């Protein structure tokens, strides 16, 4: 065959309109004591020898059903026989093939089971196939089955894709691949049918990238990260016109305007509220409106103080002007809702790149997070701490630039929420001092950057637990699993950066984001 393996063996040779048997047929005929008249050549059905029909291909060859690698049949060495003549007694009533097994004498053959199978054992396999009636079969329709099965599987998986989440679709694909493999093995082992699953495997594997490129099309909109939708596309929007509401059971409604901004569509929901794509008619600018209903999220005694803090933080964040920070244009109140208006950008947030099949190259991780650190260093010098750095709050936009989102709203507390089970903020990315409720500075964001670096490099979080308390305990008291155990391709230089960024004590970490940015940039240039 094309890979130089022996899978077929001619049983007859046609010469001048006559058929001549090869060694295996001759041996079987003599062993069964058959006359030549008891051997029939049937072009379509193979060879009939006695009562046994041997299937052949169009070239008169048998598809060999190997019993295994070298040693599947017993051997007697020349030396054994010469030193102990009685050894041949065990050959009584057996077929004995005499040949060489020394590689230098060039009777060695590559098979699917062994790279060097002596010719005598190859013939032993063929003869035993005939005597045992143990034939591999490839019916005429098998080629059609192999050709059309990938298309059928593709249609089924494509039909099911819109109805399943990414995780379920991936699980279904893995089960399908495993099922094809198991069925082809069972057909081979028990039915002696040879089905080639290669093209089915190849087709499904090539279909997989569509799963990740299509995005989370089967997820309900209210399960998306609030920050994912700043520039997300392909999200189902509510019908234009009429009023837009935050939820079906909320009495307050937002009309088709928030302040002077014209609502165009709802593009996401999160723990804080609803996110809209809107238009500023005064300057014909598209932007994003994020709404917060404090009365629903916090206890009544906190609302006034929190609103004052919110507008103060939004005002401070609005003064930030950096190419890697999403710009805040405005903040206000409308119909009981507080809102913040910010730059509309299109792209993909980093949570997409924390999944096993989508991990970025380590060099790219360093380059992206160096840009994030540049933005944070600028904000820290303006005395603004982000407090919620996580993959979902970092976006790579269409032109390749990196944007940090949600400055101005991340400082809102999450400890006194009135809605059971609602959590604002992401505990997995908090620094130890943030978990303890201590005063925060820019070094808290540096710890969060370290967590994001770890997750982008390994596809896993450094601090995990079954509940929030367990996660917080891991953050404050436990060390993370060495990242090279999860991804052996991570260089030592990157591990050193992680170690310093994730120190439990702020004074042991990088003291400024600029320092971390410099180390990441230097690493990306050296790797």
DSSP 309-360: HHHHHHHHHHT---TTBPPEEEEEEETTEEEEEEE---EEEGGGGGSGGGPP
Tokens read off for 59 = 């070239």
Query: Cβ distance 273 to 266 under 8 Å?
Result: no
Residue 326: which of 341, 348, 309 has the closest Cα? Answer: 341
* CA atoms in the 13 A half-sphere facing the CB of 195: 24
Tokens read off for 325 = 């920070």
Residue 379: which of 445, 437, 432, 451 has the closest Cα? Answer: 445
Residue 349: which of 461, 442, 456 has the closest Cα? Answer: 456
Sign of CA dihedral 456, 460, 466, 469: negative
Q: How far is CA 170 from CA 175, 222, 350, in A?
A: 9, 22, 20
DSSP state at residue 479: P
Based on the residue annotation, tell me whether 388 is a catalytic residue of this protein.
yes
The catalytic position among 228, 388, 406, 445 is 388
Residue 225, SS3?
coil
Give dist(CA 343, CA 287) in Å, integer. 5
> In sequence order, which residues have a C-beta less than 8 Å from that of residue 24 and are 6 or more positions away?
9, 11, 62, 123, 126, 127, 130
Query: Cβ distance 116 to 167 under 8 Å?
Result: no
Cα angle 117, 121, 122; round to 5: 75
- Residues forming the active site: 388
């Amino acid at each position: 065959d094309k890979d130089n393996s022996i899978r077929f063996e001619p049983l007859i040779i046609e010469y001048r309109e006559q058929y001549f048997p090869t060694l295996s047929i001759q041996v079987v005929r003599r062993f069964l004591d058959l006359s030549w008249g008891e051997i029939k050549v049937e072009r379509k059905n193979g060879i009939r020898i006695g009562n046994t029909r041997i299937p052949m291909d169009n070239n008169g060859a048998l598809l060999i059903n190997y019993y295994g690698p070298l040693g599947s049949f017993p051997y007697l060495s020349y030396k054994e026989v010469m030193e102990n003549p009685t050894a041949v007694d065990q050959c009584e009533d057996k077929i004995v093939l005499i040949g060489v097994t020394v590689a230098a004498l060039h009777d060695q053959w590559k098979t699917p089971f062994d790279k060097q199978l002596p010719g005598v054992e190859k013939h032993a396999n063929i003869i035993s196939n005939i005597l045992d009636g143990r034939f591999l079969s490839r019916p005429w329709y098998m080629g059609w089955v192999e050709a059309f099965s990938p298309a059928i599987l593709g249609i089924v998986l494509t039909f099911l894709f819109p109805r399943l989440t990414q995780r379920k679709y991936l699980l279904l694909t893995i089960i399908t691949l495993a099922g094809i493999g198991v069925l082809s093995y069972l057909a081979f082992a028990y039915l002696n049918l040879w089905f080639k699953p290669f093209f089915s495997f190849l087709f499904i594997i090539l279909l997989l990238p569509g799963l990740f490129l299509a995005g989370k099309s089967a997820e309900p909109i209210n399960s998306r990260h609030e920050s994912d939708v700043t520039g997300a596309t392909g999200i189902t929007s509510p019908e234009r016109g009429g009023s837009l509401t935050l939820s079906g059971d909320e009495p307050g409604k937002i009309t088709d305007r928030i302040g002077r901004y014209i609502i165009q569509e709802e593009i996401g929901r999160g723990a804080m509220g609803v996110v809209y794509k809107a238009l500023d008619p005064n300057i014909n600018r598209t932007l994003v409106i994020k709404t917060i209903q404090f009365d629903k999220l916090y206890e009544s005694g906190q609302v006034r103080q929190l609103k004052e803090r919110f507008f103060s933080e939004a005002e401070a964040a609005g003064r930030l002007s950096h190419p890697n920070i999403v710009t805040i244009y405005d903040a206000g109140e409308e119909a009981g809702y507080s809102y913040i208006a910010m730059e509309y950008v299109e792209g993909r947030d980093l949570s997409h790149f924390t999944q096993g099949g989508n991990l970025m190259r380590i060099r790219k991780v360093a380059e992206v997070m160096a840009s994030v650190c540049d933005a944070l260093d600028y904000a820290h010098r303006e005395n603004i701490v982000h407090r919620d750095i996580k993959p979902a709050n970092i976006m790579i936009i269409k032109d390749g630039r990196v944007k940090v989102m949600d400055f101005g709203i991340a400082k809102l507390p999450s400890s006194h929420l009135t809605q059971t089970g609602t959590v604002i903020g992401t505990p997995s990315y908090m620094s130890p001092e943030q978990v303890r409720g201590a005063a925060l500075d820019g070094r808290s964001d540096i710890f969060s950057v370290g967590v994001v670096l770890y997750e982008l490099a390994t596809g896993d979080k450094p601090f995990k637990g079954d509940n929030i308390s367990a996660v917080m305990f891991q953050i404050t008291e436990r060390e993370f699993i060495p990242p090279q155990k999860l991804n052996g391709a991570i260089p030592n230089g990157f591990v050193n950066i992680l170690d310093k960024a994730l120190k439990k004590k702020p004074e042991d970490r990088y003291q400024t984001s600029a320092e971390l940015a410099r180390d990441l940039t230097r690493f990306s240039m050296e790797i």
